[in-house]
């Protein structure tokens, strides 16, 4: 598993992109805006926000929105993701699992709305013993 060190400039661009896209979140029930910016190995940043639904299981998180957007555009290898919330909350278990499928060593950076970083760690530390494609061999 190759790690890709992030420059401070790249890290800041990811955080700013996540902060900006959080403003597009559709959150009439929780009022908890989340923005995510996922960096592909191709250098493109894929963004996503959370979209709630009155039928709560139909809600989609920002991290999964960014991931599905990237995959739908042909990108399946990732370096890092920045997630911005009002209080620096971390990705939920479902998001961690979805991201693990493609990038167990993904650098995960979470921050609050003022871009104060709360987590900066590889995904496999946030999801130890994760279940991935190799688990099916």
Helix/strand/coil for 80? strand
Helix/strand/coil for 84? strand
16 is catalytic: no
Q: For the range 23-31, what are the long-range contacts, defined as Cβ-Cβ under 8 Å and sequence gap of 24 or more?
A: 23/49, 24/49, 25/49, 25/50, 25/51, 25/62, 26/50, 26/51, 26/52, 27/52, 28/52, 29/54, 29/56
- Choosing from 52, 63, 101, 125, which is the catalytic residue? 63
Catalytic positions are: 63
């Amino acid at each position: 598993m190759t790690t890709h060190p992030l420059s401070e400039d790249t890290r800041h661009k990811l955080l700013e992109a996540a902060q900006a896209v959080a403003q597009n979140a559709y959150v009439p029930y929780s009022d908890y805006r989340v923005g995510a910016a996922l960096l592909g190995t191709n250098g493109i940043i894929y963004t996503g926000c959370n979209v709630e639904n009155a039928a709560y299981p139909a809600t989609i998180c920002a991290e999964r929105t960014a991931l599905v957007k990237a995959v739908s555009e042909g990108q399946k290898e990732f370096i890092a993701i920045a997630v911005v919330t009002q209080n620096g909350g971390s990705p939920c278990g479902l998001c961690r699992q979805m991201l693990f499928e493609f990038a167990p060593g993904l650098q995960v950076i979470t921050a609050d709305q003022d871009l104060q970083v709360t987590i900066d760690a590889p995904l496999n530390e946030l999801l130890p013993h994760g279940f991935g494609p190799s688990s099916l061999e």
